[in-house]
Amino acid sequence: MDKTDSRSRKRHRGQGRVTLADVAKAAGVAPITVSRALNSPDRVSPKVRARVEEAVEALGYVPNLIAGGLAAAGTKVIPVIVPSLSILTFIEVIHAIGQRLESAGYQMLLASTDWDLDREADLVDTVLGYSPSGVILTGLRHRPRVVSRLKGWGRPVVEIMEYGESVIDMNVGVDGDSLGRAMATHLMARGYRRIAFVGSNLDRDYRGRQRMQGHQSALEQAGFDASWVLEYAEPASYAVGAQALKEVMAMSPRPDALHCSNDILAAGALLEANRQGVAVPGEVAIGGYLGLSIAEHLTPRLTTLAVPRAEMGTQAAELLLARLAGGDPERPRRDIGFTLVEGDST
């Protein structure tokens, strides 16, 4: 009586969803057997498996991954933390990561820091709260708290975009300094002498700044003037590129080459040059960085430093998956490199 009574004041917390226990009852087995039938089918007799599958179907059971996560101390979720979702570069990397991760049964939890390292730190705390299987972060610079938390975490962490020495765990990226140097060197080799760097959002985007620094050191080492810089506060857009070209054409003396910190800026500048009838590279040369597909469709084709973004994403995901599979991936630090694609704009 007593027991029945205490039981009768039903909890209404659950969502009324079909649970594993319901399936077990329907199939006439213990809950754990249902769990096994679903998660490791081989460890259960075919007969039972069939009965369970039938019950699952009949009841429309959908596993509660939250509960599973709590019990197993981990969900099949991989948070991916990037500075911005409005930059094409990140999108392509994310896309590649997502493809690879989903094919392995993981879900991608996306979050953007809006270029703010403090926000990144908060986000890391938040997403760790979901007991994810691993984490993917952007860049090598983080708040100390992020680094210490993640280092002691015991699960795979991959830092992407930037390649370097001091990593939390694993790393796939490219060296910003080399990128900046490569384009500067190319432009100097072509005979340009007044080479301006065009960047945007540089105060927040430290990787963009790294490229600029690479550019400047290369120029300085060659004895060139490295002080030609056009900086814009807002994020890169065709409009900013167009604006840069206009300003350049009004300068005197005027730069003879523009090293744009990404292809959006470069394309914007080039399209504006087309519109104004400015000869490229006759009056001014334009070089970009990224290897966006638009580069090759412009007239003239844009010279650009192509970074294999999709490849970077895929490799990041694979490093993670390898570790999750219990392996110890070879070369956990990878410089993905880049290629100078010579168009006709320089």
Partner DNA sequence: CTGTTAGCGCGTTCAC
Partner DNA sequence: GTGAACGCGCTAACAG
When binding is defined by CB under 8 A, the residue of 62, 222, 251, 279 that contacts a second copy is: 62
Element (H, E) at 94: helix 88-103
Count of positions on this chain that bind DNA (CB under 7 A): 33
- Identify the bridge partners of residue 259 per DSSP, sorted by sequence position: 197, 287
* Residue 112 binds to DNA (criterion: CB under 7 A): no
Among 2, 4, 12, 325, binds DNA (CB under 7 A): 12
Q: Which residue has the tokens 């009574």?
A: 5
Nearest-approach distance from CB 130 to a second copy, in angstroms = 5
Look-up of token digits 């596993």: 63
127 lies in the site for DNA, by CB under 7 A: no
Containing 250, the helix (H) or strand (E) segment is helix 238-250
Residues 6 or more apart from 319 whose CB is under 8 A from it?
Answer: 156, 158, 170, 172, 329, 332, 334
Task: Indicate whether 322 belongs to the interface with a second copy (CB under 8 A).
Answer: no
Residues 52-111 that bind DNA (CB under 7 A): 63-64, 67-68, 70-73
Interaction between residue 30 and DNA (CB under 7 A): yes
Q: How far is the CB of 26 from DNA (least distance, A)?
A: 12
Using CB atoms within 10 Å of the CB of residue 274, give its burial: 0 to 12 exposed, 13 to 18 middle, 19+ buried.
middle
Per CB under 8 A, the list member of 45, 221, 299, 339 interacting with a second copy is 299
Nearer to DNA, 70 or 189 (CB): 70
- List the Cα angle 161/165/168 in 5-degree steps: 75
Interaction of residue 15 with DNA, rule CB under 7 A: yes
Q: Where are the beta strands (DSSP E) in the chain?
A: 77-82, 107-112, 135-138, 157-162, 170-174, 195-200, 229-232, 257-260, 285-290, 303-306, 333-335, 339-341
Q: Find how far residue 86's CA is from the centre of its chain.
A: 12
- Whether the CB-CB separation of 33 and 52 falls below 8 Å is answered with yes
Distance of CA 288 to the CA centre of its chain: 20
Q: How far is the CB of 122 from DNA (least distance, A)?
A: 17
Site string for a second copy, 32-61 (x = CB under 8 A): ----------------------------x-
| Per-residue contact string for residues 251-290; x = within reach of a second copy by CB under 8 A | ----------------xx--xx-xx---------------
CA distance 204 to 235: 10
Kindly state the number of chain residues that form the binding site for a second copy, as judged by CB under 8 A.
Answer: 54
- Whichever of 55 and 172 has its CB closer to DNA, that residue is 55
Q: Name the residue among 15, 340, 323, 37 with its Cα closest to residue 179.
A: 340
- Tell me if 21 contacts DNA by CB under 7 A: yes
Choose the one of DNA, a second copy, none that binds residue 341, judging by a C-beta under 5 to 8 angstroms depending on kind: none
Contacting positions for a second copy (CB under 8 A): 13-15, 60, 62-70, 73, 75, 77, 85-86, 91-92, 94-95, 98, 102, 107-112, 125-131, 149, 154, 237-239, 242, 267-268, 271-272, 274-275, 293-294, 297-299
Contacting positions for DNA (CB under 7 A): 9, 11-15, 17, 19-21, 29-33, 35-36, 38-39, 42-45, 47-48, 63-64, 67-68, 70-73
